[in-house]
A = this chain, B = another copy of it.
Amino acid sequence: MAIHAGVVGVGPVGDRIMRCVKERNLPLAEPLRIMATRCRVEEDFGGEKVVEVCETCADMFEGLDVVFFAGREGAKGASVQWREAVEKAGAVAIDNGSDFRMDPAVPLVVPEVNMDAVTADTKFIASPNCSTIQMVVALAPLHRAAGIKRIVVSTYQAVSGWGQAAMEELGRQLPQYCESGCPEFDPAIFTRPIALDCIPHIDRFDPSGYTKEELKMVNETKKILSAPEIKITATTVRVPVEVGHAEAINIEFESDITAEEALEILRDPVKSPGVVVVDGPTCDPNAESCRNAPTELQYPTQRDILKDEWKDMVLVGRVRDDETVEHGLNLWVVADNLRKGAATNVVQIAQEMIARGLLG
């Protein structure tokens, strides 16, 4: 059954939503309605050379089954302004913004983890923060197996998490850096040049000294896993990478789980949907040539999300026993922050709702 869908926002996430809708064959009864603050023609958007963008207004939602929110209106997400209008039009809203994620009445959904939070009555669904999504996709199967007690996470987050302007800022600074080794201070987006530096500051600071990005990882993870008892502490860092977030995650479990057992779970596509394990020897450990070779291991990096088969997946590697705590593990988790961390996730929610007869 074909549906009528729209997207509000024409930044990198809007672009990726349009690509995902096509790639994943979301059954559309009419072309995706693309909306933004102003009417305009966008070039090279969503895999199309020229795309017509309409000004967002209540009338634009008429006849739609689902609206993806992927844009800002001033300092807030577009859903703050348009949520009611979408509901009046009878459409379901799937929001990539952060404004309603912690609202107890709003399900916060990662389809691989907690799709059951969406029911026939659900009219508004929040999609989590990019750094949260990739962490819970990797950790949910391990939580089911051994119960997570505490998480210490440090992130390596691409500039595209901020949006198009941040990607352009890095793009402007890189040639300056190549020429002079010292890009001009350009305060448009980041507090200092991001080429080539790591900035431990994502989103605003909270009075606690943590950033809102760090608190999102804490609070959203607990909500998605329905596990308020899990202890989580985070340090989130912007790195000079265009697309793709990486996370070094240290986990203490309630019950015993070894790196080997964790790898077995993560390699099982039924137990760990959306996960690809990139770990283990780079050669066949049974081959003589490998036994004689130096020990080298595979691991994922942010560039790996450019591979077509991995672009919507959460890549896990560097799975190690951590003997410094009872039932401890270390992991390295990588995903495309614009796709699985945003666009893919909202399109997957719509797909899964269609499959469950909740949409259209």
In this complex, what residue of B is CB-closest to A303? B197
Least Cβ distance of A143 to chain B in Å?
Answer: 16
A233-B328, A259-B209 are contacts. A242–B295 as well, Cβ < 8 Å?
A: no
User: Which of B192, B200, B324 sits near A232, CB closer than 8 Å?
Assistant: B324
Q: How does the 8 Å CB contact mask read for A290-330 relative to B, with 1 for contact and 0 for none?
A: 00001111010111000000000000011111111100101
Q: Is the CB of A296 within 8 A of B205?
A: yes
Q: Is the CB of A299 within 8 A of B201?
A: yes
Most B CB contacts (10 A, CB to CB) among A181, A210, A235, A322 go to A235
Which residues from chain B contact A207 at a C-beta distance below 8 Å? 295
A267 near B: Cβ within 8 Å?
A: no
Q: How does the 8 Å CB contact mask read for A184-197 relative to B, with 1 for contact and 0 for none?
A: 00000000110011
Least Cβ distance of A326 to chain B in Å?
Answer: 11
Least Cβ distance of A18 to chain B in Å?
Answer: 21
In this complex, what residue of B is CB-closest to A170? B196
A250 near B: Cβ within 8 Å?
A: yes
Q: How does the 8 Å CB contact mask read for A226-248 relative to B, with 1 for contact and 0 for none?
A: 00000111010101111000101
A152 near B: Cβ within 8 Å?
A: yes
Interface residues of A in 161-177 (CB under 8 A from B): 174-175, 177
Which residues from chain B contact A294 at a C-beta distance below 8 Å? 204
In this complex, what residue of B is CB-closest to A201? B299
Least Cβ distance of A149 to chain B in Å?
Answer: 10
In the complex, A233 Cα to B259 Cα: how many Å? 15
Least Cβ distance of A230 to chain B in Å?
Answer: 9
A3 near B: Cβ within 8 Å?
A: no
A-B contact pairs, 15 of them (CB 8 A): A150-B325, A152-B250, A154-B248, A181-B242, A192-B301, A196-B241, A197-B303, A198-B241, A200-B318, A201-B299, A204-B294, A204-B295, A204-B296, A209-B318, A233-B324
User: Nearest 7 A-B pairs (CB), nearest first?
Assistant: A231-B324, A154-B154, A154-B248, A235-B248, A209-B320, A197-B303, A152-B152
